[in-house]
C-alpha cells in the first residue's frame, strides 16, 4: 500500500478515536477503562503505521512542553527547545529551502559568469 494511502487510513482511524473521546467527555462518561481502551487502540494505530512518529516529532513535543518532561532549569528548557525546533525545521523546511535557494544561486552564477 502506498504511504500516503496508509497515512490517510491511519488518520481516519485516529479521527474516529478523537470523536469517541469527545463523545465520552460530552456525556461525562470518560472512565479510566474507556480511556485505557482508546489509548490501546491509538497505540495499535501508531504501531501499524510507524512513519507517524520519528524522533524529531518527540523532540518537537519536548520543545513545546518542556515542563512535562521534567525540564525545570532554564538551560534544560532552552536545550530542549533549540534541539526540537532545529530538528523540526530541518525535517520540514530543508528540502523546500534547497529547492528555492539552489536554483536562485545557480541563476545568479550563470548571470554573473555570462556578463
The domains of the chain are located at 1-53, 54-115
- Ordered alpha helix ranges (H), 27-73: 32-48, 55-64
Distance CA 113, CA 115 (A): 6
Does the predicted model carry a pTM greater than 0.85?
no
pLDDT, mean of each 10-residue run, the chain (115 residues): 75 90 87 88 81 63 74 75 75 78 88 84
Distance CA 18, CA 20 (A): 5
> Would you tell me how many other CB atoms lie within 10 Å of the CB of residue 15?
10
Q: For the chain, state the CA radius of gyration.
A: 21
Which of 113, 61, 65, 110 minimizes the C-alpha distance to 87?
61
Instruction: Provide the grid cell at 27.
Output: 456525556
Quote the pLDDT of residue 35.
86
Quote the pLDDT of residue 16.
92
Amino acid at each position: 500500500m502506498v504511504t500516503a494511502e496508509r497515512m490517510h487510513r491511519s488518520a481516519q482511524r485516529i479521527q474516529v478515536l478523537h470523536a469517541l473521546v469527545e463523545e465520552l467527555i460530552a456525556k461525562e462518561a470518560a472512565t479510566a477503562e474507556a480511556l485505557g481502551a482508546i489509548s490501546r487502540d491509538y497505540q495499535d494505530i501508531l504501531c501499524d503505521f510507524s512513519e507517524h512518529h520519528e524522533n524529531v516529532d518527540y523532540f518537537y513535543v519536548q520543545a513545546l512542553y518542556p515542563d512535562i518532561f521534567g525540564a525545570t532549569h532554564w538551560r534544560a528548557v532552552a536545550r530542549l527547545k533549540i534541539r526540537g525546533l532545529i530538528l523540526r525545521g530541518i525535517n520540514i523546511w530543508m528540502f523546500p529551502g534547497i529547492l528555492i535557494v539552489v536554483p536562485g544561486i545557480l541563476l545568479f552564477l550563470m548571470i554573473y559568469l555570462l556578463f
